[in-house]
Amino acid sequence: MNRIELTRIPFIKNALKSRYPQLAVFIVMLIGYIFAILAGLIGTPVGSHNFSIVFVWIAWWAILILVAVPFFGRGWCAVCPIPLPGEWLQRGAALSPPDKRPKWLNLRVPKMFRNIWLQNISFLLLALFSSVLLTTPNITGIVLAAMLFAAIGLSTVFERRAFCRYLCPVGGFIGLYSQTAPIELRIKDKQVCVTCEGKPCYNGSSAGYGCPWDVFPGGLTKNTYCGLCMECIRTCPHDNIAVNLRPFSADLAKPSTRMDEAFKAFIMLGSAIIYAGVLLGPWGAFKDAAYNVSSNSWFIYAIVFLAIIFVILPGLFMLGILNKKNTLPLKQRFASLSTALIPLGLMFWVAFSLSFVLTNASYILAALSDPLGLGWNLFGTAHAAWQPMFTSILAPAQTLALVGGLIWSARTAQKAAGEVKVSPIPVIIYCFIATSLMLWLLL
Ligand code: SF4
Ligand code: SF4
Ligand code: SF4
């Protein structure tokens, strides 16, 4: 498969090797993040006029799902401020490794948690409360602060970035969809790694830290767990790490066999369908149920939400791939074939987010001038009227995204089915029905 090594370009290589450009972006992001927490806690309770809601759930979400994840994979994780304070505390430094590192517990995360089930649960918790989270500034402020403190707490107990790797609700789906991105970090030559002494990319050296994501870069075959922190570029003494441009979804050629990753695909697919129905659909009763947290109707909503994700969607998928003649375990076929849902889910989120973001993007201008809703007018745009944007291209763009996702999934299903020696047809039919449902909900 064709790859173009971006790190051959001296400007890119130097910018990635040096800690200063990344630190500068980190500091801006951290200030923005802390401001979002404060705005959520002390700003106006009107969500559409509060920086925390408008910048996190509209501006950041739009950039993340429409640009960062599809084109840069875990690019957001490379500049995300959430793990920073904990990591600086853990390392006792904000830049290169210090002579003496602080004595934290540095425990290894117990084996039973070294998977993405906790990330699946944390995402579902946010998803179940999302109607409130997306509209109530102080809840958004509390959740953002809780993520920051959880990352700090885990950094003082466990080694490396335990929060990112095993708990972050955002990191789980970014990792899943990063496999489709046309960018990767990989070693250049396996043989160099075999003879490399001390493996500083994993164990660290005076030049840099061992992989914060607990990945051995020499063995990387997919993007899922590489946070693109660039430490291994700094530590590898043999200049054996490259950042490459590559074809889209290259990682999906080798399907996963892990059930936690398979269920992540169902969680993301199901959540996109449910959100499209509840948040954008014409059914007021569903919306009321989702908003009235702790009411009886919310409990029914939560049960239906979980049933769709854990029973109905995987159950129908399983029925489709049952084949007594196939000798491979059903679990393996299930996990491998669910790879086809990754591009489908990503494009469902793109289509859903286009509605959500274009309808609400005009709030960004007003919030920029008056981020706390206190009557300021910093840039003269505080009174910009709400107005949906690009309404004429919304439906064609969504249709294109969904149909494109279906074709992409069908191709992925063909490859995955080839690996486990089954017919791709049931998976393609499944994807077709899911896409038709999403088209009906959105258009
Ligand atoms: S995993 Fe989560 S906290 Fe960690 S860098 Fe990525 S988005 Fe940020
Ligand atoms: S430090 Fe470089 S050469 Fe050594 S194992 Fe890591 S990537 Fe390979
Ligand atoms: S050290 Fe290298 S392999 Fe590990 S997360 Fe950072 S960029 Fe990825």
Helix and strand element counts for the chain (H, E): 24, 3
Task: State if residue 211 touches ligand 3 by the CB under 6 angstroms criterion.
Answer: yes
Q: Assign 3-state DSSP to the chain and report helix, strand, coil percentages, each to 5.
A: 65, 5, 30
Q: Distance between CA 406 and CA 193 in Å, rounded? A: 39
Task: State if residue 116 touches ligand 2 by the CB under 6 angstroms criterion.
Answer: no
pLDDT per residue over 51-85, tens digit each?
999 999 999 999 999 999 999 999 999 999 999 99
* Residue 379: per-residue pLDDT: 95
Task: State if residue 231 touches ligand 3 by the CB under 6 angstroms criterion.
Answer: yes
What's the gap in Å between 87 CA and the centre of ligand 2? 23
CA separation (Å) from 341 to 154, 288, 405, 431? 32, 30, 9, 7
C-alpha 424: how far from chain center: 27
Task: State if residue 170 touches ligand 1 by the CB under 6 angstroms criterion.
Answer: yes
Task: State if residue 227 touches ligand 3 by the CB under 6 angstroms criterion.
Answer: yes
Q: Phi and psi for 289 in degrees, rounded to 5?
A: -60, -40
- Sequence spans of domains, the chain: 1-254, 256-442
- Relative to the CA of 196, which ligand 2 atom is closest? 4
Q: Which residues contact 222 (CB under 8 A, 6 or more apart)?
A: 179, 251, 254
Q: From the CB of residue 399, how many other CB atoms can be counted at a distance below 10 Å?
A: 14
- Relative to the CA of 187, which ligand 2 atom is closest? 7
Q: How far apart are the first and last CA of the chain?
A: 37
Nearest CA to ligand 2 atom 6: 201
Q: Distance between CA 159 and CA 162 in Å, rounded? A: 7
Identify the DSSP state of 362: T
Which ligand is closest to the CA of 73, given by its number? 1
* Residue 114: per-residue pLDDT: 97
Nearest CA to ligand 3 atom 8: 226
- Relative to the CA of 217, which ligand 2 atom is closest? 7
Structure tokens at 304: 């239906």
Helix (H) or strand (E) holding 184: strand 183-187
Q: Phi and psi for 133 in degrees, rounded to 5?
A: -60, -40
Residue in the block written with tokens 């980190």: 26
Nearest CA to ligand 2 atom 8: 193
pLDDT per residue over 174-190, tens digit each?
999 999 999 999 999 99
Task: State if residue 80 touches ligand 1 by the CB under 6 angstroms criterion.
Answer: yes
Please identify every stretch of the chain with a pLDDT value under 50, giving residue numbers as ranges. Answer: none
* Residue 323: per-residue pLDDT: 78
pTM of the predicted protein model: 0.96
Structure tokens at 197: 């002494």
pLDDT per residue over 398-415, tens digit each?
999 999 999 999 999 999
385 burial (CB, 10 Å; 0-12 / 13-18 / 19+) is exposed
